[in-house]
Structure 1
C-alpha cells in the first residue's frame, strides 16, 4: 500500500457526487405553479407592541455609547442590546464590569433596563474559524485543503500558525475552509522537492493565532488549551490528532520517533510514526498531533504529514521549533 500525503484527495473530500439517473428512466413530475401569497398571511407573522418612543430613544443612546466604547477600548468586553417587546424593557447582555455598564446606561431609567451578565461569542466552527485562529481548523487555497496545526511565536513575539509544507507555496494567502475569512500568508516553507530540506513544514502569518486547538467533530467549535510542546515517546498509546477531515481522534501509539517517510514531495526524516485509533485522512495534513494531561491541556508533539492507511506520520515539534526559530504559544 503506497504512502500518500494527507493533503491529497481534495476533490474527494470537497467535491460533489454526480447526480444519478432514475433507474426506471422516469422524469420528475411537472413543476406546480403557485401564486405568491401576501406577506401579511405569513405563518410566523405576529403582532408585537412597539417600543414607546422614549424607550426607543434610550436604546439608541445606549447602543451608540456601546459602539463608541468598543471603538475606543477594543473588544475586551462583549455587548448585546435590544428592546424585548414581550417584557416591555431594554435588555443588555454583557460581561463588562458594573462601572462600565453604568456609564453606558445612564440615559435610561434603571427600571427599564435588564442587565444580563454573560459573555457573548461568535458562532464559528472548525471549518469556518475566526480570529484568533485555533489549530485543527480547515484552511484552503485554489481548491487544496489542509488543516492548521498549532500557534508559535518568534523571538520578537510575532505569532504564526504551523502547517505542513506540502500544503501551500510560499507567498500564498490562504483562507478558512469556508472562504469567509483570510487566514494569513505562507512563509518559511520547508519541503524536500522545493527547498531540499528533509522536512515538511511552513508558517502562516499576518493574522491573530491562539494557543488552542479544536476538539470534537468536524464541525465542532469546542477547543482545548495548548500547555506545552516537546518530544513524543515511543510506546505511548494515547496520542491524538485533530483535523478538518476526521475531527479529533485519540488512541494512537507512537512506534518510532526516528522514522522516514517518502511521498510525492520527497523524503522526510526524522518523523514520528504512529498506529492505532481512527487513522488520518486527506485534508488532515498540518493538523496537530498531541497528548492530553490530566487537566485537559494539550501537549503538542508535532503536526500530521502522511499515511498509508495503517500507519500515520507526523513532523516532530522538536524539528519544527529549532528549524524556524520559534516557540510554542500556550492558551
Structure 2
C-alpha cells in the first residue's frame, strides 16, 4: 500500500506505523509535497492528462469520509500526474480526533494499493478558513474586496482587492494582518491563518445571455426570458415533495420558456440577497424535468444520464464538464479552488468552484470555456459508468482587465453545497 502520512509532531499523537506508512515531523513538508504536486511559474498547481479510473473512485470515497471531520479536514488535491491524492488537514486539531481520521484514511486507501495517498498538515481546517473569510468580507465589504478563496495547500486564504485599492495596498495588507491576528486571538489560536493579499487582475461577470426541447426538459437546454435573453437548465431536484429545476439566480425572471413551452416559474431564489450565504441559484417549478444532460453540439440531440449529485466541495484537479445553450458541452476544466467567494457584478457570491480549462491536458491552461448564455447549466463529472454526477451550475467567468478582445481565464460554478446550506432536505430528482 502506498499510503504516506506526514503529521506534525505538535499534535502529540503519532500512530503506530504500518506497511508503507511514514511520518514526518514537519507539516506541509516541501520535499513531500513535491512528490505529488507540480507547479507552474506562478506557483499554481498544474495537472497532466485526464483524471480516470481508481483515482476518481478513491477521491470520491475520501471526500465522503472527510465530510465527517469538518473540524480537521481542509481539502484534497489530485497529484499532478493523477497517480495519487494529497490530503490537507489541520495541524492544530485535537490529537485523538486526528488519530481517528488517520486510521479512516488508512482504511479507505487500503483498497487502492497502486495509488499514493499523502496526508500533510496545514494551518487550518476548511471550517476555520470559511469562518475567517466571512469575518474579513463582513469587515472590509465589497468596495474593497473582489474575491476570497480558500488555499488548501497552506490552510489559508487568498484575498484579492479591488483595483482602486492598489495605492493603499500596504495599508490594506497591514489592516488585514491585524484583523487576522484579532480573529485568531479571539478563538484562542496559537498561530495565525496565512493570508496572501493582491490586487485583482481580472473582472468577473455573470455568464447570462438547446433551443427546441420538449418536456420532460433536459439539462443544458435553453431557458428563454425577457427580450431575447437566455440562460440554461441546470439540475433537477426534489424539495418538500415537489420537483424543481435548478438554474442561476442572476437570470432574473419569473418565468422561462423553451420551444413555446413553459419550462418553469420561479419558486424561490438565493439571488441577490442571499447569494453571499448560499451561492447564485433559483428553483423553478411547474413543469417536468428529466435526468439527462445534452452532451453534444448545439444542434445535437445526444444526451448522457445524470446518475446522481455531489453536494460537497470538489478536489483540486477534478475534471469537470459544463453544458449550456451557448457553448454546448465543454469538458477538460480542472478545479483550482472550491468554496470561493467572488464579487460577481456587484453581488458577493459564495459556494463557488473556480476552474480553468486545459484543452491539451499538458499543464497549460487556455481560454476555451463557458460564455454568456450558459448560466444555470449543469457542472458535472463522469461517474465512471457512462453517466455523470451533477455537482453544480454555471455562474460566471472572468476576463483580464483591459484586454480587448476579452481574454477569459477563470470559470465558475455554484456548488450544490449552496443549496444544501439553504436547506438540508433537497435531493437529486432525475
So what's the TM-score if we normalise by structure 2? 0.46
For residues 172-217 of structure 1, the C-alpha deviation after alignment (integer angstroms, 9 at most, x for no partner) is 12101x4x21111012111135887552110111011111111111
Structure 1 equivalent of residue 382 of structure 2? 292
Of 231, 240, 262, which residue of structure 2 is paired with 1:146?
231
For residues 82-105 of structure 1, the C-alpha deviation after alignment (integer angstroms, 9 at most, x for no partner) is xxxxxxxxxxxxxxxxxxxxxxxx
The structure that is helix-richer by fraction is: 2
Structure 2 equivalent of residue 173 of structure 1? 255
- Does the Cα contact within 8 Å between 1:193 and 1:265 map onto a contact in 2? no
What secondary structure, in the 3-state scheme, does the structure 1 residue paired with 2:203 have? coil
Return closer, same or farther for 1:196/1:259 CA change in 2, 3 Å cut-off: closer
For CA contacts below 8 A with separation 6 or more, give which structure has more relative contact order: 1
CA distance in 2, matches of 1:152, 1:286: 14
Structure 2 equivalent of residue 315 of structure 1? 414
Return closer, same or farther for 1:2/1:233 CA change in 2, 3 Å cut-off: same
What secondary structure, in the 3-state scheme, does the structure 2 residue paired with 1:310 have? strand
CA distance in 2, matches of 1:225, 1:286: 18
Q: Which has the larger radius of gyration?
A: 1
- Does the Cα contact within 8 Å between 2:278 and 2:421 map onto a contact in 1? no
Gaps of 5+ in 2: 1-201, 360-367, 399-407
So what's the TM-score if we normalise by structure 1? 0.59
* Pairing 1:5–2:206 present: yes
For residues 106-146 of structure 1, the C-alpha deviation after alignment (integer angstroms, 9 at most, x for no partner) is xxxxxxxxxxxxxxxxxxxx211100011111101112210
For residues 280-305 of structure 1, the C-alpha deviation after alignment (integer angstroms, 9 at most, x for no partner) is 10000001000012221110110010
RMSD: 1.8
CA distance in 2, matches of 1:259, 1:194: 15
Structure 2 equivalent of residue 328 of structure 1? 428
Deviation at 1:226, TM superposition (A): 1.1
CA distance in 2, matches of 1:4, 1:322: 24
Return closer, same or farther for 1:275/1:139 CA change in 2, 3 Å cut-off: same
How many residues align? The count is 208
What secondary structure, in the 3-state scheme, does the structure 1 residue paired with 2:331 have? strand
Structure 2 equivalent of residue 282 of structure 1? 372
1:208-287 equivalences in 2 (<5 Å)? 208-230=288-310, 231-276=312-357, 277=359, 278-287=368-377
Structure 1 equivalent of residue 280 of structure 2? 200
* Pairing 1:304–2:406 present: no
* Pairing 1:133–2:217 present: yes
